[in-house]
């Protein structure tokens, strides 16, 4: 019984068994999970030395906003001179400058994703990491829009991770005040239409973040709000913007002082952008109190019963089934409300409930989780786990990009043997934020070096996950990744998973002396008789291994 429960704990709640993990959990599967809800969140070692959002704002965002005007200024100057050579040179300089910028973003994203993946591959608290990923997807800032793309790693570290075992009130506040979210959903440029700043400049409101907080972050689309409430919340959070950096057109319009103030996580509140007067949201009037007006709105929204039900439904859908039992959802929501938005308490109700332990493999792993679990089963980490922390980039556009993977002595550890050959012959990278630009630019100078190989490994694995239908860190929009079986069971996605498991098995069969033992240490009691029989009859060790990794039991949870 304990072994079966351990297999459920490790696969359904965790990230799939790493070597030895089933034995560890078997001592007391529920306690193994509950202890992870009690643990205080610490920053995994893989992230030490990574830049903060303040670092990014001072460095990268500032560069982002100056680069376009600089290109245009140089081109205008060359044009005025009438010298064809100068015009040609300014055009070439412009292209190189822009390409360097793209390359830098891509390397940073590659490092962020590699570190995040290595955390998942090595963590002793995989349930905690699942929850980080779940809440990160709930309040998502994906790498699909500039310049918030650069913030996706820092956003998760600063706004999500610290609150996963804490209060949703704190998590939402951190999210709504984080530069990544403010820029992603345009609130950094939203100005109250009756504010002093609007009167000076004619600029005005953007309702994007206000709408998504109601629709996606708190009440849910059927949570009982209307268009007036969208406007009201958007007005309530006018002036919530970013420190250290402001879009150049705002500075040009003299919307604010040219120097933005400092703020934690690069947040700044501009009082003269804030809509004056009382604002009515969901039937309640909020008095003008500057920043506190919007804070009070959020603090009420997180404590709304519809928010509790919406969050509980999503979490139960993620961990139990596409249609979680209503009684379970109600119990979770009640705990959330009774404990003042405490997420650990809400999750505890789920772990202690009978429903998740019935052994039905009702969920399909999403592609990124599936890939992580295959690597965990084999005890693999990406070579980048042994790469030093990235340095903030000294942006000099007139020299080739050659910074962040420098100093690495790491050889690829996942992409070896046949997997390396197939990955290296694969089409050029297809990363959302465009690692191929880096392949052309930055990496060229380093081709063949260990760090280039380590980077290529990260790109190739990223691509494999993307080919299964999920571009890591690239959710399609503020709604995040959808979470039902039908969202992930496309025929092509399943084929791509099989191709991955076969290629991975061929490359790493040497780590698995006997596929039958491997079955016991990964799926344990979840493996069905058919699978046991097929694995024992496999023609080769590799084939046995690939049958385990591609099996329905391994793909489901």
Partner 1 sequence: MIITRRTALGALGASSLLTTVAPGFALASAETDRRFLFIFLRGGMDSLTAVPAYGEPGFKALRGSLADGDPGEGTSYDTLKLDGLFAMNPDLAFMHSLYTNGDLAILHASCHGYRDRSHFDAQDAFDRGTVDKAMKSGWLNRMIAHLPGGMKTGRETLVMGLGPTLPLSLRGSEAVSSWSPPTAPKVSGDTMERLARLYAKDEVLHPALEKGLSAQSMGEEMGMGSEEANNFVLFAEAAARFLQPAGGARIATIDYGNWDSHADQNGRANVVTSAGTFHGRFAEMYLALDRGVKAFRDGMGDAWKDTVVIALTEFGRTVRINGTRGTDHGTGGAGFVFGGAVKGGRVIADWPGLKESQLNDGRELKATIDNRALLKAVMREHLGVPERAFADILPGSDGIAPLEGIVRST
**Structure token digits, residue 458:** 């990260």
Per-residue interface string for the shown chain with partner 1, residues 77-116, x marking contact by CB under 8 A:
-----------x--xx-xx--xx--x--x-----------
Applying the rule CB under 8 A, the residues between 341 and 380 that interact with partner 1 are 364
| Spatial CB neighbours of 34, under 8 Å, sequence gap ≥ 6 | 348, 351, 352
Q: CB-based burial of residue 141 (10 Å sphere; 0-12 exposed, 13-18 middle, 19+ buried)?
A: buried
Q: Which of 30, 145, 303, 516 binds partner 1 (CB under 8 A)?
A: 145
Taking CB under 8 A as the rule, does residue 191 contact partner 1? Answer: yes
Q: Which CB atom, from 11 or from 408, has the smaller least distance to partner 1?
A: 11
Per-residue interface string for the shown chain with partner 1, residues 254-293, x marking contact by CB under 8 A:
----------------------------------------
Integer Cα distance of 303 and 86 in angstroms: 62
Q: Which CB atom, from 22 or from 460, has the smaller least distance to partner 1?
A: 460
Integer Cα distance of 314 and 163 in angstroms: 17
Q: Residue 449 CB: number of other CB atoms within 10 A? A: 15
Applying the rule CB under 8 A, the residues between 228 and 257 that interact with partner 1 are 230, 247-249
Applying the rule CB under 8 A, the residues between 56 and 75 that interact with partner 1 are 64-65, 67-68, 71-72, 75
Stretch that binds partner 1, among 186-194, 311-319, 328-336, 351-359 (CB under 8 A): 186-194
What does the angle CA 466 – CA 469 – CA 475 come to, to the nearest 5 degrees?
80
- Write out the E strands in 278-354: 279-281, 284-286
Q: 3-state class of 541 per DSSP?
A: helix
Report yes or no: 116 and 368 within 8 Å, Cβ to Cβ: no
Q: Which of 235, 459, 467, 519 binds partner 1 (CB under 8 A)?
A: 467
Taking CB under 8 A as the rule, does residue 313 contact partner 1? Answer: no
Q: Which of 359, 417, 495, 513 binds partner 1 (CB under 8 A)?
A: 495
Give the pairing of strands 279-281 and 284-286: antiparallel
Q: Which of 36, 151, 242, 493 binds partner 1 (CB under 8 A)?
A: 493
Integer Cα distance of 257 and 165 in angstroms: 39
CB of 101 to partner 1, least distance (A): 8
Q: Which CB atom, from 410 or from 468, has the smaller least distance to partner 1?
A: 468
CB of 348 to partner 1, least distance (A): 30
What does the angle CA 439 – CA 470 – CA 187 come to, to the nearest 5 degrees?
85
**Structure token digits, residue 64:** 């982002």
CB of 557 to partner 1, least distance (A): 13
Q: Which of 153, 161, 551, 557 binds partner 1 (CB under 8 A)?
A: 551
Residue with tokens 């391994």: 554
Applying the rule CB under 8 A, the residues between 193 and 212 that interact with partner 1 are 193, 198, 203-208, 211
């Amino acid at each position: 019984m304990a072994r079966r429960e351990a297999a459920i704990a490790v696969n359904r709640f965790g990230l799939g068994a790493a070597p030895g993990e089933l034995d560890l959990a078997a001592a007391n599967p529920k306690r193994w999970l509950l202890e992870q809800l009690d643990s205080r969140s610490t920053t995994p070692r893989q992230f030490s030395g990574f830049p903060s959002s303040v670092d990014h704002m001072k460095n990268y965002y500032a560069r982002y906003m100056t680069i376009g005007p600089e290109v245009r200024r140089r081109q205008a100057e060359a044009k005025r001179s009438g010298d064809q050579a100068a015009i040609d040179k300014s055009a070439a300089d412009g292209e190189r400058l822009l390409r360097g910028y793209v390359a830098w973003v891509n390397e940073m994203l590659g490092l962020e994703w590699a570190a995040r993946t290595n955390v998942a591959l090595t963590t002793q608290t995989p349930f905690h990491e699942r929850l980080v990923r779940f809440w990160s997807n709930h309040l998502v800032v994906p790498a699909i829009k500039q310049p918030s793309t650069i913030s996706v790693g820092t956003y998760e570290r600063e706004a999500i991770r610290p609150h996963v075992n804490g209060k949703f009130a704190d998590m939402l506040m951190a999210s709504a005040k984080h530069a990544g979210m403010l820029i992603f959903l345009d609130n950094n440029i939203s100005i109250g239409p009756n504010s002093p700043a609007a009167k000076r400049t004619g600029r005005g409101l953007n309702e994007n973040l206000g709408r998504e907080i109601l629709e996606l972050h708190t009440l849910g689309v059927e949570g009982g709000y209307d268009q007036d409430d969208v406007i009201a919340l958007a007005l309530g959070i006018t002036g919530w913007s970013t420190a250290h950096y402001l879009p150049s057109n705002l500075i040009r319009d003299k919307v604010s002082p040219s120097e933005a103030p400092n703020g934690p996580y690069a947040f700044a509140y501009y009082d003269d952008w804030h809509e004056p007067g009382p604002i009515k949201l969901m039937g309640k009037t909020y008095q003008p109190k500057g920043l506190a007006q919007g804070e009070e709105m959020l603090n009420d929204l997180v404590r709304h019963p519809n928010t509790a039900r919406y969050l509980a439904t999503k979490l139960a859908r993620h961990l139990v089934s596409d249609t979680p039992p209503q009684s379970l959802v109600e119990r979770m929501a009640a705990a959330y409300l009774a404990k003042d938005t405490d997420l650990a308490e809400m999750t505890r109700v789920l772990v202690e409930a009978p429903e998740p332990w019935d052994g039905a493999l009702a969920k399909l792993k999403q592609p990124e989780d599936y890939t992580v679990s295959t690597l965990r089963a084999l005890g693999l980490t990406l070579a980048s786990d042994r790469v030093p922390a990235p340095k903030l980039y000294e942006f000099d556009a007139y020299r080739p990009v050659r910074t962040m993977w420098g100093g690495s002595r790491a050889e690829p550890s996942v992409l070896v043997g046949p997997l390396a050959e197939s990955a290296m012959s694969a089409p050029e990278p297809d990363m959302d934020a465009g690692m191929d630009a880096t392949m052309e630019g930055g990496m060229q100078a380093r081709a063949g070096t260990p760090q280039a190989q380590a980077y290529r490994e990260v790109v190739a694995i990223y691509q494999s996950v993307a080919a299964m239908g999920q571009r890591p860190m690239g959710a399609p929009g503020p709604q995040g990744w959808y979470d039902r079986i039908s969202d992930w069971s496309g025929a092509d996605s399943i084929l791509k998973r099989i191709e991955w498991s076969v290629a991975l098995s061929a490359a790493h069969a040497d780590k698995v002396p006997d596929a039958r033992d491997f079955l016991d240490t990964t799926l344990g009691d979840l493996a069905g008789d058919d699978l046991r029989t097929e694995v024992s009859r496999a023609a080769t060790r590799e084939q046995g291994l690939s049958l385990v990794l591609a099996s329905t039991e391994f793909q489901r949870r």
